[in-house]
Structure 1
Amino acid sequence: MVQIRQTPTEILHLYRSFLRLGSRWPKDHLRPDRNLKKVIESSVTEKFRKNSSAQEPEVLNLLFQEAERELDALKRLLDNEFRAKYPLSKKIASPVDNPTYYSGLMVAIDKAVNKKLQNSSNGIFAWYKRK
């Protein structure tokens, strides 16, 4: 028989870790209607609520280990671990047929984000100035 390793305190700590991580998730200014922060929070709440009735030690251990792996994966994404670990090579970042494509794309994205931020901060005046 497998002993239950996780206490209610450990499970609550894991749940709160997910919520803290979700609160740190950056806002996507380019797609403000897509909110990954809310998706993470609602998904975590739903999973923990759904599995709250689990009693069997084997099931509890599997659920806890799976949640720890998911939390670790989200932390790695948030910390850009893979971007640092696997940087783009010059060959990929500057294709021979169009070497400035990606740098130009990044400039265009930055302009779009800045424009959206300016328009949203000006409110009704931004709409009035465009007319």
Structure 2
Amino acid sequence: MSKSVAYKHLVRAVSLWPKDRLRPDCQLQDILLARAKKTFVPASSAIGAPAPTINERAELENANALYSLLDNRYALRYQPRKNLLMRPASNPDHYNDIIEEIDAAPSRGMFGRIKNRLSGLLRFS
């Protein structure tokens, strides 16, 4: 039995989805793949039991929604006034600093982690 078109699109969209560096043990891809398998792969139940019907159109719309999120269609269409959300007036580099910290965290050694923890405890303004 060949897989449906919606299943193929869902699997492809999930494979293109970026990994979450902040929570590496809880990935959206795993959740979406488990949902797709539960929906499209019939469970081995009683022989002769009718297979559950799948709303192919709704699943294709779900895959299209994933593709639109991957392509940033909504961010490009509904841009807040010149990206004011990501650059607040009180601290314009706040989100850039967070991204740099997340990127640097996996490669930081034990002494770097201790130094950051202590510098967080002792703040001189």
TM-score by length of 2: 0.68
| Residues 90 and 15 of structure 1: CA distance in aligned 2, closer, same or farther (over 3 Å) | closer
Residue 114 (structure 1) aligned with residue 103 (structure 2): yes
Structure 1 segment 89-128 matched on structure 2, within 5 A: 89-90=81-82, 92-93=84-85, 99-101=89-91, 103-119=92-108, 126-127=109-110
Q: 1:91 to 1:21 in 2, by over 3 A?
A: closer
User: Could you tell me how far apart the structure 2 residues matched to 1:94 and 1:22 are?
Assistant: 26
- Tell me the C-alpha RMSD between the 2 structures: 2.9
Q: CA deviation at 1:49?
A: 2.5
Deviation string, structure 1 residues 9-42 (Cα, Å, up to 9, x no partner): 5x52321221111111101112223301111111
Alpha-carbon distance between aligned partners in 2 of 1:104 and 1:80, rounded to the nearest angstrom: 22
Q: 1:107 to 1:49 in 2, by over 3 A?
A: same
Counterpart-to-counterpart distance in 2, 1:80 and 1:43? 23
Number of aligned residue pairs: give it: 108
- The structure carrying a bigger helix percent of its residues is 1
2:51 to 35, 50, 53: 53
Give the TM-score taking structure 1 as reference length.
0.66
Which stretch of structure 1 is more off in the superposition, 12-21 or 75-84? 12-21
- Percent of aligned positions that are identical: 21
**How big is each residue's C-alpha offset from its partner over 1:54-77, in whole Å with a ceiling of 9 and x where there is no partner?**
3xxxx55xx011101111111111
- In 2, the alpha carbon distance for the partners of 1:36 and 1:72 equals 16
